[in-house]
Structure 1
């Protein structure tokens, strides 16, 4: 075995895929494209089996491969071809998304352009529950060349939509309208095509305050300040019963009206008509 040298190379480019030399494998000699992907079957080498396993197959791996065996007396070779590699590549966003409450955001998801949308079985957007996968929330669904907004969870119904004109280009990004605080989290775009599937994730993070939230804060502070101010006026400035009565009325109504407005704005900012009516 020490006298054998076995090389696996790409026939078209002479790229070294893997090497056996001086009685052992030489992974350090591999081309960068094949490091940690091309392996001999270690237990089979003693039986002079130098078959090669190629992990995580890529479309660019298509082509011819030559196995050349050298010994002191002679050499020989055999050739293997990899062809018709099917692939499904899905990409999302590398960075987390920041937004203010009430803004519209785009969750990116692109499918490799060589696969036509009509050949995709399903594209689903879900919000991930890390503690319980069964509780993942369906944001939007594309199936059998159609969009099914009615299947979305009620929290995302009428707020999430595909860019319809971009779907033929493999762009399955979703626009999420009027972002709420509870929208913060991890979203997954899961693509199915035949027996292949792939996914990409997008993180919606750092939701900032909107103008409505700032107004609510001002109203709450004003309500507290007005209550303290009116208490001071009652004891320090007024002596007549009428003026005391009027000040007491202001003390009762002014802070409560301000707080009521603050809570109504809170309901509106969170996109809930029900909350606004209750407030």
Structure 2
């Protein structure tokens, strides 16, 4: 889930050396993995010539983004912010120096300083990312293969600052058939669908770690498909999918099949031997009888 936050309605002006720079009215809050906009602007049009804008972390002076000589100097960025921190290039001429920070991480929490230089004037404002709300769900990056009759685990791991016990709901759905496979609610899990009843369960000892992986027992051929693990916590929700495919026969099934084929072949061979022996005896008896005549 991605969210782009804009906070331009109310701004706090900061004056330094004659240039008034506008920032947000308060701290920013955004979900982990989302995109957030850190507001920074002036209320007048500035010439791009001689304009310089710096975005830095206040506690470490780490360079997050630099605009200089009419373009973004991306090679000067701290490596952690390369390809994640961007200007709205078409808005610079209008005095908008806001920074878009993508793929928000927990370590992005903190204060950022936007400092604007133009000729002999300068000004700055400070923006704080107060909370990064973490709710990210990951499943399996690859499809899972299973054998008919065996058990299989469908992975679902939750990264969140919220204790797993406080999650309002976790559901497992078979999305290609729109079937609710399992519902975890009020610290209890059960299957509302008869097809999966007594065949699905979570791992209770792992739930406090944010592990909501699903164990599917006695796999059937019709279990093949796409499964989604979805987590709900207040206004936040996130999901991940797992693909179960290539449902083949287990080693036990293959062995039994070979034994059956072998047994069938042995029975057929025995029948042929008996038949041939009987025919041979019959021929010999007839021959002896003919000799007597």
TM-score normalised to the size of structure 1?
Answer: 0.72
1:207-218 pair list within 5 angstroms = 207=248, 209-218=250-259
Q: Counterparts in 2 of 1:174-185, with a 5 A limit? A: 174-185=214-225
**1:221-261 per-position Cα deviation (integer Å, ceiling 9, x unaligned):** 53256346535643x32249xxxxxxxxxxxxxxxxxxxxx
CA distance in structure 1 between the partners assigned to 2:179 and 2:258 by the alignment: 31
Q: Is the 8 A contact 2:149 2:250 kept in 1?
A: no
Q: Which residue of 2 is the match for residue 2 of structure 1?
A: 49
Asked if 1:120 corresponds to 2:160, the answer is: no
Q: What is the CA–CA distance in structure 2 between the aligned matches of 1:4 and 1:11, rounded to whole Å? A: 21
**Per-residue deviation, residues 37-56 of structure 1 (Å, max 9, x unmatched):** 32222221111211122233
Question: Are the equivalent residues in 1 in contact too, given 2:145–2:245 (CA < 8 A)?
Answer: yes
Q: Deviations over 1:75-100 (max 9, x none)?
A: 22111111122120223344554544
Greater radius of gyration (CA): 2
Which among 97, 101, 104 is matched to residue 57 of structure 1? Answer: 104
How do 1:77-88 and structure 2 match up within 5 A?
77-88=124-135
Question: Do structure 1's residue 74 and structure 2's residue 121 form an aligned pair?
Answer: yes
Higher strand share: 2
The equivalent residue for 1:132 is none
Select which of 178, 188, 197 maps to 2:228. 188
Give, in angstroms, the shift of residue 101 of structure 1.
Answer: 3.5
Count of aligned residue pairs for this structure pair: 234
Of the structure 1 ranges 196-205 and 64-73, higher mean CA displacement relative to structure 2 is found in 196-205
Q: Matched residues in 2 for 1:113 and 1:4: separation?
A: 41
Larger helix fraction of residues: 1
CA positional deviation for 1:158: 0.6
**Structure 2: gaps spanning 5 or more residues:** 1-47, 281-293
